[in-house]
Chains A and B, each alone.
Chain A
Amino acid sequence: MGQDTIYLVTTTGDTADVEALQAVAQANFPEKQTRLVVFESNADKVENLKTKTANTVDAIDFLAISGLDYPDPNVLGKAFVAYFKNVDTPLILLNSSRFNNAVAARIAAGLTASIVTDIEQPTIDGTNLIVSKKGYSGELKRQVQLDMNGGIVLTVNPLKDPVKLPTDKDTVVQNIASEVVVTLPEDATYTLTTNDQDLNLDNAEVVVAGGRGLKSEAGFKELYQLGKIMNAAVGASRPVVDSGWADSSLMIGQSGKSISPKVYFAFGISGTVQHTIGIENAKCIVAINSDKDAPIFKLADYGIIGDAKAVIQQLVTSKVSN
């Protein structure tokens, strides 16, 4: 086994992402050396990350891929595979996100490594690593045993509680030029669909989301007014998106986004597992539904039994501010 070192792979130089990944490693594998492998084409972000992670990891390898200025998953996958080619049975962690899962799958396939995505609670049991993940979109929970005599790639869910990171490590920084050949579609355009400046589902502290209980597109649209007043981002359940009342970028849940706002308002959302899996990391859930037996109330910290449209109206009229 070559797993004295744990590899933390990140496809962005985003410090919050890196810290979340470090926290998982620290909480579950405190005795292991940590080596951060970063792809980030933005020089400012690289410098910022160097400063932020100084003394918190054993090593950082910045992977430079000439000719690649956005994270194309195929090229990244190949570059990471080339990077790990000579590492004996690596243990590789990435933050779970849809993009990272796609990159992780490529790394695992290229290295013939086992892979489990969106895992929690990794524990070592002899020469095995045991991880938990959801099955049937959260209806069931599964434990998977992975033989550490082979390579392992995991994407990990963020920890619920913060962990103190070490501050006394001698961090060795390397720049590694990847030799992977960049082949991209000539007309490729890469767009960030959320940006940090505008209020959006990823960064908003308050999210107001609507479901079929809002009855119509017009009913759903009232949420925008409420969002403005409350400084909140607007989200939607899948039926709303399927009905064409909202853009699919607003979808929360298994088929959409996983979000972690301070408070989440669910207006007229019944709360199927496929939806609630996306709001598990919300600090506080407020459910408004006319059906008092709607499953969403089982998850909610606060609830109002009543017509969701009427509650939105009252909130708008009373100008609730955040």
Chain B
Amino acid sequence: MNIVVYIKAVVDPDKAKNDLDLAKGTKEDKLALIINPYDKQAIEAALQLKEKYTGKVTAVSLGSDLATDKILRDALSLGVDEGIQISNDDFESLSSYSPALGTVLAKAPVDDVDYYITGREAGDDNQSITGASIAAALDVDFVDNVDEVEYNDDETLTLTSRWDKSELKGTYKQKPLVLSIKDTANTPRLPSFKAKMQAKKATLKHFKVSDLPDIDVARIKAIADRATTINLAKPEVASKETVLFNLNDDENAVSELVADLKKHSIL
């Protein structure tokens, strides 16, 4: 079974909030780059599929060479078999706001793929569109927000998608299929030192966007340019007056709070 998992390098949120240059990408620090946290469940799902049915997991990442090198090696140290870098160095605005993203990702050269897997969303832009746009580019079905995976003996999967107010469970026989995995679907494994050491020496496959097969670079550029981030900043925080009670030195704190809430018709 061939499984492709798409992973994205994002700046560690703790570092991004304190250094806007990192968040904007105007500065790159290898050690601040991590696998998009939501993609860890995608990798785990891919590895579980492989372990269940035997097969090969290929991780694909689009981004700067530095970033994709870092996170693909991280993915290899989790047990992924192969990494493919797609360098977007000549595509400044290839963002997740553009359907061009899926068009490019879907071109990653992997043969006879059974499942394409993504995380539910990206931690840096909080979009959840990659799976859908890959599915559209490949013209295959897409199952999103997968929260439970049951493995059937005939190598089909019974998947439960969960959204805000509803869930959908069904057995999907068609292949290939694109899945986006929820962050509550599984517990990602930790990397082993042995795999980490091997990952350091591994050879990644490297493509530029323009190297990809059957790609209309001019058209993709035109589409991609239609969506650009023009500003990224700390949100202004509305300062709130909090009415505070302290139970440690006021034994009536609870009843005072309740009285106050009732007075203001909140309760």
Contact = CB atoms under 8 A, between A and B. Distances in A.
Interface residues of B, number: 76
Interface stretch (A35-43, A113-121, A174-182, A213-221): A113-121
Contact of B131 (A105, A118, A298, A306): A105
B137 interface: yes
A111 B184 CA distance: 30
Given A142-B125, A263-B266, A306-B246, A97 B164 contact: yes
A307 B123 CA distance: 33
B170 to A, nearest CB: 3
Interface string A84-110: 000000000000011101100110111
Interface in A299-318: 299-307, 310-311, 314-315, 318
Contacts of A112: 99, 223
B110 interface: no
Interface in A105-161: 105-106, 108-118, 130, 133-147, 149-150
Q: Summarize A's interface: helix, strand, loop or mixed.
A: mixed
A134 B125 CA distance: 7
Interface residues of A, number: 89
A202 interface: yes
A118 B95 CA distance: 16
Given A301-B243, A305-B247, 20 more contacts: A105-B128, A109-B102, A109-B129, A110-B136, A114-B97, A115-B99, A133-B125, A136-B126, A137-B123, A139-B13, A141-B233, A142-B229, A147-B225, A184-B170, A187-B169, A193-B162, A248-B147, A298-B237, A300-B240, A305-B246
Interface of A: 70-74, 77, 97-99, 101-102, 105-106, 108-118, 130, 133-147, 149-150, 183-194, 202, 206, 230, 241, 248, 251, 254-255, 257-258, 262-263, 283-284, 286-287, 292, 297-307, 310-311, 314-315, 318, 320, 322
